[in-house]
């Protein structure tokens, strides 16, 4: 909307009469808050690799949607709307929970931004819109241990098929006995084997 020139002239006259300049008014207002797009690189630089991996996609979506908006002008309803949109469009997998985890990550990613802004003294904790959005309660996990019959079937398949049945059987025995992860098995060295006592040193 274009300002009325007559009103602008009247405002200038009033300021001149009061001995106040536009620079004085801007100084009283304090420094301008950054936009989300301006501030997000600082958040990313301060985040650890795990946070960047988990929240990176959501930060990109927020930058695209709200990049030109000041940090204190983003509303809780904006974050909640993005949470619901991403949950509704999340990729469906066999173990998916209707996008629930994706929706949780949206809120957590927004909170990470505002936690950094609070720590930097840019906004008060009470002014954070991300902390006014309630995170959905985490559903019970669907993961469970294999039953003895299931484990036996897996071992039988490994011992009777494949290109190297002995190695496959040994690898399954390694994971069954030690509960090590993929990286632990791949990182094994000869120096990690204690053949006298039947022990392994795992690095994960």
pLDDT tens, position by position, 22-77: 666 655 555 678 999 999 999 999 999 999 999 999 999 999 999 999 999 999 99
Instruction: Write out the two tokens for 91.
Output: 């990729």
Tell me which DSSP letter residue 125 carries.
Answer: G
Residues of the chain with pLDDT > 90, as a percent, come to: 46
User: Do residue 120 and residue 177 come from a single domain?
Assistant: no
Average pLDDT value for residue range 183-200: 90
Domain that holds residue 71: 36-132
Q: Does some domain include residue 139? A: no
pLDDT value of position 30: 56
Q: How many domains does the chain have?
A: 3
pLDDT value of position 25: 60
User: Do residue 40 and residue 121 come from a single domain?
Assistant: yes
Comparing 140 with 116, which gets the higher pLDDT?
A: 116
Average pLDDT value for residue range 80-98: 73
- Asked if 130 and 111 count as a contact pair (C-beta separation under 8 A), the reply is yes
Return the H-helix or E-strand segment holding 200: strand 199-200
User: Do residue 125 and residue 182 come from a single domain?
Assistant: no
User: Do residue 195 and residue 118 come from a single domain?
Assistant: no
Q: Does some domain include residue 138? A: no
Overall residue count recorded for the chain in this entry: 204
C-alpha pair distances (Å), 190 with each of 44, 165, 169, 176, 195: 40, 21, 19, 20, 10
pLDDT value of position 31: 64
Asked if residue 113 has pLDDT above 70, the reply is yes
Answer yes or no: pTM beyond 0.85.
no
- B/e letters for 15-28, b = 16+ CB within 10 Å, e = fewer, are eeeeeeeeeeeeee
User: Do residue 109 and residue 53 come from a single domain?
Assistant: yes
Average pLDDT value for residue range 115-135: 93
User: Do residue 59 and residue 11 come from a single domain?
Assistant: no
For the chain, give the mean pLDDT.
86
pLDDT class for 20, splitting at 50, 70, 90?
Answer: confident
């Amino acid at each position: 909307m274009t300002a009325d020139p007559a009103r602008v002239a009247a405002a200038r006259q009033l300021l001149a009469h009061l001995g106040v300049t536009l620079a004085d008014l801007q100084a009283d207002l304090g420094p301008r808050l950054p936009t989300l797009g301006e501030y997000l690189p600082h958040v990313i630089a301060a985040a650890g690799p795990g946070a960047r991996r988990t929240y990176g996609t959501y930060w990109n979506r927020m930058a695209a949607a709200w990049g030109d908006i000041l940090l204190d002008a983003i509303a809780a309803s904006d974050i909640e709307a993005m949470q619901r949109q991403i949950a509704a469009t999340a990729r469906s997998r066999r173990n998916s929970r209707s996008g629930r985890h994706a929706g949780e990550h949206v809120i957590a990613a927004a909170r990470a931004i505002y936690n950094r802004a609070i720590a930097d003294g840019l906004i008060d904790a009470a002014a954070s819109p991300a902390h006014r959005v309630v995170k959905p309660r985490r559903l019970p996990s669907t993961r469970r241990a294999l039953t003895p019959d299931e484990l036996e079937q897996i071992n039988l398949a490994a011992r009777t098929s494949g290109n190297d049945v002995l190695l496959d059987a040994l690898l399954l025995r390694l994971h069954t006995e030690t509960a090590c992860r993929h990286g632990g098995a791949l990182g094994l060295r000869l120096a990690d084997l204690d053949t006298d006592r039947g022990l392994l040193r795992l690095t994960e």
